[in-house]
Structure 1
Amino acid sequence: MAQEPRRARLTREELRIWRNYIETAEALRARLEGRLQSESAMSSADYRVLLTLSEAERKTLRSSRLAELIGWQRSRLSHHLGRMEKRGLIRRTTCADDPHGVEVVLTDLGAERFRHGSVPHLRAVHELFVDALTPEQLVQVDDVTAALRRHLDLDPGR
Structure 2
Amino acid sequence: MAQRWLDEEQQRIWRTWLSVSELLPRVLDAQLQRDAGLSHAAYVVLAMLSEAPGRSRRMSDLARRANQSQSRLSHTVARLEERGWVRREPSPEDGRGNVAVLTDAGWEVVRSVAPGHVEAVRSALFDPLTDEQTRDLGNALQAVLDRLDPDHSLRLREGADAG
Taking structure 1 as the reference length, what is the TM-score of the superposition?
A: 0.89
- Percentage identity across paired residues of the two chains: 36
1:28 counterpart residue number: 24
Residues 1:140 and 2:136 are matched in the alignment: yes
Q: Which amino acid aligns with 2:60?
A: S
2:12 counterpart residue number: 16
Give structure 2 stretches of 5+ with no counterpart.
Answer: 159-163
Give structure 1 stretches of 5+ with no counterpart.
Answer: none
Distance 2:101 2:15 in 1: 40
Distance 1:134 1:121 in 2: 21
C-alpha change, 1:82 and 1:155, in structure 2 (3 Å) is closer
Q: Which has the larger radius of gyration?
A: 1
Q: Which amino acid aligns with 1:121?
A: H
Distance 1:90 1:7 in 2: 51
Residues 1:87 and 2:83 are matched in the alignment: yes
Shift of 1:36: 1.6
CA contact (8 A) 2:25 2:40 kept: no
Equivalent pairs counted in the alignment come to: 154
Deviation readout 1:54-95 (Å, 9 max, x if unpaired): 111111111011112122111111111111111111110011
1:109 counterpart residue number: 105
Distance 2:155 2:92 in 1: 29
Shift of 1:147: 1.0
CA contact (8 A) 2:59 2:98 kept: yes
The worse-fitting range, judged by mean Cα deviation, of 89-98 and 47-56 is: 89-98
CA contact (8 A) 1:62 1:101 kept: yes
Matches for 1:43-54 after TM superposition, within 5 Å: 43-54=39-50
Distance 1:34 1:44 in 2: 9
Residues 1:78 and 2:90 are matched in the alignment: no
The worse-fitting range, judged by mean Cα deviation, of 23-32 and 103-112 is: 23-32
CA contact (8 A) 1:53 1:60 kept: yes
CA contact (8 A) 2:64 2:155 kept: no
2:157 counterpart residue number: 157
